[in-house]
């Protein structure tokens, strides 16, 4: 594939640094997965290592040029290769009676939707390579400038661990920013509720506004004041001052008793 040109439309930046690839593989191997689903196989740089684990494997690829290459070069079989858009796939359909590890180098433009699909699925763990700035937002502390609705949402449902940082020179073509490898693991003690995410978007809609002002178009002000005071919070509280657990408690109390 010497004449292959990465697609800007698909956000293709391939990992070409062998040391980085081996570090990712070593980390995945230590997780002892039952099976693997790799998002964005690319030219198969990581795939060749993952297949050495001798466990059930599925690789998802949307680029028709790469699909042909992977099959012609016998890197993957037809059974192993899932063709098409990951966002249109059912994450629960890849393997029956197995809990596969999801992994991949994800274009920034679809990272949030993929994490949402992961949260909605039965899968438990996700090794994700993403832009450093996005990883920082996922891991942001309460009251920091990076703390956001999506970050609070993910922190409530997931344990998020930084594995290691990856310099932009490890990719071809070289992106404008560095990347971070993170591990997302679902918290077994909580049940997923997508409406919590919608609630958080409204809470963080205008960061400088008090929480009450961001929600008053949906709930009566007196009602909001009563619930906030019962939670022993100041009535002038802003969303970014609250932990993911505090935000979820407010969500339950406010939305379960909506008037």
pLDDT in tens, the chain (259 residues): 556 666 676 666 778 899 999 999 999 999 999 999 999 999 999 999 999 999 999 999 999 999 999 999 999 999 999 999 999 999 999 998 899 999 998 888 899 999 999 999 999 999 999 999 999 999 999 999 999 999 999 999 999 999 999 999 999 888 899 999 999 999 988 899 999 999 999 999 988 899 999 999 999 999 999 999 999 999 999 999 999 999 999 999 998 865 4
The answer to whether 38 is annotated as binding is no
Beta-bridge partners for 131: 179
CA gap 253, 129 in Å, rounded: 36
Are 254 and 212 spatial neighbours (Cβ–Cβ below 8 Å)? no
Are 139 and 151 spatial neighbours (Cβ–Cβ below 8 Å)? yes
Identify the architecture of domain 14-186 in CATH: 3-Layer(aba) Sandwich (3.40)
> Helix %, strand %, coil % for the chain, to 5?
40, 15, 40
The answer to whether 40 is annotated as binding is yes
Are 7 and 72 spatial neighbours (Cβ–Cβ below 8 Å)? no
The answer to whether 104 is annotated as binding is no
Enumerate helices (H) and strands (E) in the chain, giving the number of each: 10, 9
Beta-bridge partners for 39: 60, 104
CA gap 222, 215 in Å, rounded: 12
Note the CATH number of domain 194-256. 1.10.8.100
The answer to whether 13 is annotated as binding is yes
CA gap 187, 165 in Å, rounded: 24
Q: What is the crossing angle of helices 149-157 and 194-203, to 10°?
A: 150
CATH topology agreement for domains 14-186 and 194-256 = no
The answer to whether 85 is annotated as binding is yes
What does the domain layout of the chain look like in residue ranges?
14-186, 194-256
């Amino acid at each position: 594939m010497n004449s292959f040109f990465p697609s800007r439309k698909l956000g293709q930046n391939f990992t070409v640094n062998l040391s980085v690839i081996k570090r990712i593989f070593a980390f995945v191997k230590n997780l002892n997965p039952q099976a693997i689903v790799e998002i964005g196989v690319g030219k198969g740089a990581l795939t060749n290592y993952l297949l050495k684990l001798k466990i059930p494997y599925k690789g998802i690829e949307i680029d028709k040029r790469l699909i042909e290459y992977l099959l012609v070069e016998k890197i993957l079989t037809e059974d192993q290769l899932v063709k098409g858009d990951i966002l249109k796939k059912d994450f629960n359909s890849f393997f029956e009676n197995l809990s596969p590890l999801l992994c991949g180098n994800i274009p920034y433009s679809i990272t949030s939707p993929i994490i949402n699909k992961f949260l909605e699925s039965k899968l438990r763990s996700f090794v994700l390579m993403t832009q450093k700035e996005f990883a920082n937002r996922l891991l942001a502390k309460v009251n920091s400038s990076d703390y956001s609705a999506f970050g609070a949402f993910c922190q409530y449902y997931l344990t998020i661990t930084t594995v290691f940082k990856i310099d932009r020179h490890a990719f071809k073509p070289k992106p404008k920013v560095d990347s971070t490898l993170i591990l997302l693991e679902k918290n077994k003690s909580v049940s997923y509720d997508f409406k919590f995410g919608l609630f958080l978007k409204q809470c963080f809609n205008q960061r400088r506004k008090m929480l009450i002002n961001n929600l008053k178009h949906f709930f009566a002000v007196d009602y909001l004041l009563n619930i906030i005071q019962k939670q022993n919070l100041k009535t002038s509280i802003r969303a970014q001052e609250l932990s993911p657990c505090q935000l979820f408690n407010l969500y339950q109390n406010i939305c379960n008793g909506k008037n």
